[in-house]
Amino acid sequence: MIIKNGNIITKDEVLNNTDIRIENGIIVEIGKNLDGDETFDATEMFVSPGFVDIHTHGGFGSDFMDDDENAINTVLDFHTKNGTTSLLASTVTAPVSQIKSMIERVRNHMKSDNAKGKTKILGVHIEGPYISFKNKGAQKEEFLKVPSKDDYSFIIKNSDVIKNVTISTELDGAEKMTKDLVNAGIKVSLGHDDGKSETAYPVIDAGATNLTHWYCAMSTARVENGKRSVGLMEIGLVDSRLTLELLADTHHLPPELVSLAYKCKGADKLCLVSDCLRAGGMPKDGRVYTLGTLGDEDATKFIVSNGVARLTDGTRFAGSIQPVSQMVKNVMDACNIPLTDAVKMASLTPATVIGMDDKIGSLEVGKIADINILNSHIIPVKTMIDGKFIN
């Protein structure tokens, strides 16, 4: 297969009127005037790497936490339609039994034939229960846990599937938990926290490398006992070890905050995430949704209002309803971030966060052919996964 005459978005520039040769699902050549029997004409279109979403929960009415094998495929249909070629399936704070069940369902999916021909699940992101009581966001308080008191060995035992875990820095045992997870090959993100520099830096030194939806449910500068300390919000902007997730749906982060992060960090350290809930792709008709497992009477409920998911009492956001592809457009339109950087923030940077950048995330010889064909409005019109067009 050769994609012909496209405007190829590489990690550094756009190569106009350029071809990509794909063999056995791998990019083998990028250049001009390549010949082959099977071609796709991408004239006047952009060709980008497939988008990688390392923090998402659902779509088309389903959630990865739903106790239903079909729910996974439904969620993936939403993300496939919108140009996401790889993702991490995110949990919410829930009884550990529900989280374990979700992990097993994802593992079974990853091994099955159902995984072919749609967005690939690279693993699981554990968001809760090891997070702050104060900055829990929409998560359920009664299921929160503290690393020093509550066993987290189930995470390490499932390190073949679990790729990233969000931890709050001020919790007793957070530093040790971070070391244990990193030693098991699991990435650690910091978020939903109420920490400060005194608690954050030891956990960062222990190996945490990412901030979960920066600025949202995150500690900031404060004065205590006559001393001002910074929080994760500020530390993230200045510590080069940290990548920031941006929930750039124009609701959770106004354009000024996205621009601030971009000026401080650059595209190599900014990662667009959808944090999309089950309401993604659904009619905006005021219906009430469940955050987490469908049918769980104890689960948090939310509604969609003015383009964003909110708790039913309207007191706070619950998550987004947008795919990553929309956030690429958002940061370009609202913040004037260049096309190459906006795409990198949705592909190579997230792939780097989870240690998959040697295989996916950019259009380079030797990498897997996960590719989007974008129209002039930067909307995915055709998506390739493992070298095969799937829509």
106 shares a domain with 11: no
Query: What total number of domains does the chain contain?
Result: 2
**Residue 286: pLDDT band by 50, 70, 90 thresholds?**
confident
**What whole-number distance in Å separates Cα of residue 370 and Cα of residue 347?**
10
182 shares a domain with 154: yes
Q: What's residue 138's pLDDT? A: 78
Q: What's residue 293's pLDDT? A: 87
Question: Which tens digit of pLDDT belongs to each residue from 297-339?
Answer: 888 899 998 899 999 998 889 999 999 999 999 999 999 999 9
Report the DSSP beta bridge partners of residue 187. 164
**Residue 144: pLDDT band by 50, 70, 90 thresholds?**
very high
Structure-token pair, residue 333:
């339109």
193, 236 in Cβ contact below 8 A? no
Q: What's residue 136's pLDDT? A: 82
Report the DSSP beta bridge partners of residue 87. 53, 121
**What whole-number distance in Å separates Cα of residue 248 and Cα of residue 234?**
18
2, 20 in Cβ contact below 8 A? yes
61 shares a domain with 189: yes
371 shares a domain with 299: no
231 shares a domain with 85: yes
148 shares a domain with 36: no
Vertex 199: Cα angle to 146 and 253 (nearest 5):
90
279 shares a domain with 342: yes
pTM for the predicted model, two decimal places? 0.97
24 lies in which domain range?
Answer: 1-49+362-391
Q: What's residue 34's pLDDT? A: 97
**Domain CATH for 307:** 3.20.20.140
114 shares a domain with 261: yes
The pair phi, psi for residue 326, each rounded to 5°, is -70, -35
198 shares a domain with 132: yes
Question: Which tens digit of pLDDT belongs to each residue from 224-266?
Answer: 889 999 999 999 999 999 999 999 999 999 999 999 999 999 9
319 shares a domain with 244: yes
115 shares a domain with 256: yes
94 shares a domain with 4: no
**Domain CATH for 373:** 2.30.40.10
Vertex 94: Cα angle to 93 and 100 (nearest 5):
110
Q: What's residue 391's pLDDT? A: 82
